[in-house]
Structure 1
Amino acid sequence: MNRRSALKNLSLVLGTSALPSWAYQWNQHSFAASQGPNTELLGAVVNAIIPETDSPGAKTIGAHLYIERMVKDCMSKEDQQAFQNGLQKLASAAMKNYQKAFPMLSSQEQISLLTNLQNSTLPEENQFFKRLKGLTVASYTSSEYFLTQHRNYTMAPGFYHGCVPVQ
């Protein structure tokens, strides 16, 4: 295994274990109304990664807002810039290949662009896709919808019965 990629993956795991308090059991109303310049693009990307089926997709639950907040609050300035550059490269690839903005593409065209990122030989594109996909999955699986509807999450599991006779 490549030592550098192992250290990056380990730092990503350790970094997400020390999440801020707003990152647990969040919903789309947890975030302020302020949105960044790439909110629409990011919404389309997360919707392509976890599309809407009989359950809500990633965009419907607000995963793109979570990701924007994570990038802003939890990444270094260099990582934030790399993430924004990756989004801009994705947007320019959509314009170059299909002459449309990424959100206007069909789902097959969006998946094709994302697959090209995933299979890219350029390390920054591949790393961007891994980070984006990881953040999308993390945001979806830590959302209030997922935890309450699919994991049977309770805020305080177990009960304390203080008035029980001791024998």
Structure 2
Amino acid sequence: MDRRDAVKSVAIMMGGVLTASTMSVMLNSCNTSMKEGKGIDFTDDEKGMVNRMTDVIIPKTDTPGAVDAGVPAFIIMMMQECYPDKDQQQFHAGLAAFDKLCKGRYKGNFLKLSPDKQETAVADLDKMVLGKNSLPDKNLAFYRHLKELTLLGFFTSEPGATETLRYVQIPGRYDGCVPYKKGEKAWAT
């Protein structure tokens, strides 16, 4: 199986949680004509924001969280190596816009807020960008990519697939109609 087929399979397995733009970036990243090398570097504060925001999106509970699965590093790698410069610039501008929003609304930089206020800020951002009455703010649209990459990175990681979902290394025969009992984990394989 080549990378393109693997990416398509992952998207199907995840039930279509990826938007067309993220899927397009992933498939285009298979194109060898794209420039080699790293994209726009993340500052320490930007890395900290990505780290904390992914932790809020998928926190550690009795199962590993996004940080435990290495999702922040995955997001940075995907942004730098797979996304075009324009999308990278929008992502960095979005982080700055979100930090500015936090200063105005919560009276401090995102990283300096208490954990409770950070969780509230991310929840409010989620509603603003992805909610039913979402506002079309292009500066905050970066959050859509952040959340998609968080889900992709987590559920395709070893801890996400093996400890959060049900996983059988060699699943055996295909059974298209598996009964579901309330409270069971979803299948990774």
- In which range does the TM-score fall when normalised by the shorter chain? 0.5 to 0.7
Classify the secondary structure of the residue corresponding to 2:67: helix
Residue 19 of structure 2 is matched in structure 1 by 9
1:135 maps to what in 2?
149
Q: How does 1:58-137 map to 2 (within 5 A)?
A: 58-118=66-126, 119=128, 120-125=134-139, 127-137=141-151
Q: Is the 8 A contact 1:114 1:129 kept in 2?
A: no
Structure 1 42/55 Cα, relative in aligned 2: closer, same or farther at 3 Å? same
Structure 1 runs of 4+ with >4 Å offset: 17-20
Structure number with larger C-alpha Rg:
1
CA contact (8 A) 1:86 1:128 kept: yes
TM-score (norm 2): 0.61
Q: CA deviation at 1:126?
A: 5.0
Residue 139 of structure 1 deviates from its aligned partner by 0.8
Deviations 1:17-37 (A, max 9, x none): 5667xxxxxxxxxxxxxx831
> Relative to 1, partners in 2 of residues 1:94 and 1:65: Cα closer, same or farther, differing over 3 Å?
same
Deviations 1:60-105 (A, max 9, x none): 2221111000000110000000000111111222233333332332
Residue in 2 that maps onto 1:53 = 61
Compute the RMSD of aligned alpha carbons. 2.8
Query: As a proportion of its length, which structure holds more helix?
Result: 1
Output the CA distance in 2 between the equivalents of 1:106 and 1:121. 26
- 8 Å contact from structure 2 (residues 94, 140) kept in 1: no
Query: SS of the counterpart of 1:111?
Result: helix
Query: Which runs of 5 or more residues in structure 2 are unaligned?
Result: 1-17, 31-40, 129-133, 173-189
Q: In structure 1, list runs of 5 or more residues that go unmatched.
A: 1-7, 21-34, 159-167
Q: What is the deviation of 1:157?
A: 6.3
CA drift of 1:41 comes to 1.3
Report the Cα distance in structure 2 between the residues aligned to 1:114 and 1:82, rounded to whole angstroms: 18
Query: TM-score, normalised to structure 1's length?
Result: 0.68
The letter of the residue matching 1:93 is L
